[in-house]
A and B are shown apart, each in its own frame.
Chain A
Amino acid sequence: MTDLATEGALASPARAIEAAQSVWSLRWRRFRHHRAGIASLAILALLVLFCLSAYPLERYLNLDSNATDLLSRYDPPSATHWLGTDEGGRDELLRLMYGGQISLLVGLLATVIGGGIGVSLGLVAGYFGGRLDSFLMRLTDGVIALPLLPLLIVLAALDLTKLGFSSEFAHSGAAGFWRIVVIIALVDWTAIARLVRAATLSVKERDYILAARASGAGALYVMATHVLPNIVTPIIVALTLTVGRVILFESVLSFLGFGIVPPTPSWGNMLNNAQELVTTAPALAIYPGLLIFITVIAVNFLGDGMQHAFDPRSERR
């Protein structure tokens, strides 16, 4: 850290640019010392690799992950079925891999959409202030006060045709997938909105913003080029933690039968018949949940590590 500072001070213009870019390399250095964070990053990379290898493995083992075979239900692990088969005689390992793709994808997409809602509302509330701010913050408080899971169940059970969607769309697999993404995004934007509002309030009176406004920059331009880049750090951390929460929401909704619709697997809906699994095939009741658990705990430790690395006040750890 010390040699970086001296380097920056003595630097030629070209070196100065390098030093300016090195905020992220500095953060990376600090992150590397957060053992749990590094381990989580490695685990997440392995999990993604694991899920993406579904198709190659399917070809290699010459299996079809969707083909049911009622004669080989709950087969024990074998050379063809490495983790055995499920209640439909389908390969458990392949379904875990494909299910993971769905669960992770829902986690990322809902975070991006919910994050988008939260960032926009927070920016607008913080930047403009006044009545708009108090209205948006009351709205946020209202959503926070809701019992989320029952509400998500109701939203998942809504009849899309009553909302004006065509009947074929409402019953298609794509609608089932996007419905989950959208409803989770609709309830899980409040933490981001509050955070962005607070951060916006703290930067909006700074001189560089006043200068930009004085030279005639519009509100949208100032928000996009001056406010957002300066508050992006806490947003990244919060978004990371949101991914973990969203994966948990998706899994519990799918588990309760209101999420991803079988036969499309997700880590949640693979436990739909958990009551039966507990007595007939306990291992199958463990695997999907264990993967969710590992994913979410890794995501949370990653967020924690980033928080330490991004916060200049935190020393070591």
Chain B
Amino acid sequence: MLAFTLRRMGQTLVVLLVMSFIIYGLIGLMPGDPIDIMAASMPGVTPEVVAKLRAIYGLDQPLMLRYWRWLMAALQGDLGFSRTHSQPVLEVLMPALWQTCKLMISSFVLSVIAALILGVVSALRPGGFVDSFVSLFAFAGISVPVFWLALVLILTFAVALHWLPASGMTNVGDGGFMDQVRHLTLPVLTLMLANTGQFTRYVRAAMIETLRMDFVRTAWAKGAGAWRVVIVHALRNALIPVVTIMALSFGTLFSGALVTETMFAQQGMGKMIYDSILSNDFNLALSGLLFATLITLLSNLAADLAYGWLDPRIALK
């Protein structure tokens, strides 16, 4: 298990390193460069000065060298300076990361709970009325465009019913815990609804398979109660693949979080990346993308380790 853990962590580091290079290269291909932006705000600047500025900032160096310098600085915790926020990147990044974690973790937990209930109930009678209904709901969840779901929820709960705020993170002059919860409700609901569909399908499939197994039949035959058979015997075993696949999808929540944060004006990582690309804030975009990749990689790592722990045969391979 220890060797397996170490090997998987090593792989994760390698992938992160490769990704950092690819993202660095891609950011370099975005329109304009920092010096162009600087020059645009200085009227009467001559091409010689621009060239000199490029040389001072090292932008005339080859890609590999620039990447190496950036990597060395990043490893020492220096991710550069955000142009639009006029702050070090790390200071912009950390609050955004925290905001995104709140959104992602709460909607993840809620969708897992909802999926467990819906999946188990529909697996009890496959093809029945409840199952058809849950299936339709699950397909709807997979097929809905997240931004449109957010729009519909805004139209319903904010514009028509006035129950909840449509955007922002706090009201001016408030900012207490309940105020934050009210502002997070619709974003969390959006992301949760969008994910519950896929999760429900995983739980349903795993439960149907497990309920057919011999040990479940034995449990029924022994006269164990329905609750005990379904929850203690079947669900516990069905959970092994389900936990893994859900942990694997935690990272994919990030794409949904980007849309949700943009729709509801939440200052999280997703919206930060989106804004930084729109406004050519290269340092911020680069670090934001790297952290987003890191979230995905870490959740994949956690999923693999959990699987190896729940099912020891995996670690031996």
Contacts and interface: CB of A to CB of B under 8 A. Distances in A.
Interface of A: 141-142, 145-151, 153-155, 157-159, 162-163, 244, 248, 251-252, 255-257, 268, 271, 274, 278-279, 282, 285-286, 288-290, 292-293, 296-297, 299-301, 304, 317
15 contacts: A146-B296, A151-B289, A154-B23, A154-B277, A155-B26, A157-B30, A251-B147, A271-B151, A278-B159, A288-B148, A289-B148, A293-B140, A293-B143, A296-B143, A301-B139
Contact of A163 (B29, B251, B296): B29
B62 interface: no
Given A271-B147, A286-B151, A297-B143, 14 more contacts: A142-B15, A145-B297, A149-B255, A150-B255, A151-B289, A153-B274, A154-B285, A159-B31, A162-B29, A256-B147, A274-B263, A285-B151, A289-B152, A304-B139
Interface of B is mostly: helix
Interface of A is mostly: helix
A271 B148 CA distance: 9
A145 B300 contact: yes
Given A252-B145, A271-B147, A317-B127, A145 B27 contact: no
A300 B26 contact: no
Interface string B261-304: 01100000010011001100000010011001101110010000
A282 B288 CA distance: 34
Given A159-B29, A293-B143, A293-B144, A146 B274 contact: no
B160 to A, nearest CB: 9
B274 A147 contact: no
B1 interface: no
A226 to B, nearest CB: 30
Contact of A150 (B30, B127, B263, B292): B292
B252 interface: yes
A153 B277 CA distance: 8
Interface residues on B, range: 35 or more
B145 A293 contact: yes
Contacts, number: 131
Interface in B16-65: 18-19, 23, 26-32
Contacts of B277: 153-154, 157
Contacts of A278: 151, 154-155, 159, 166
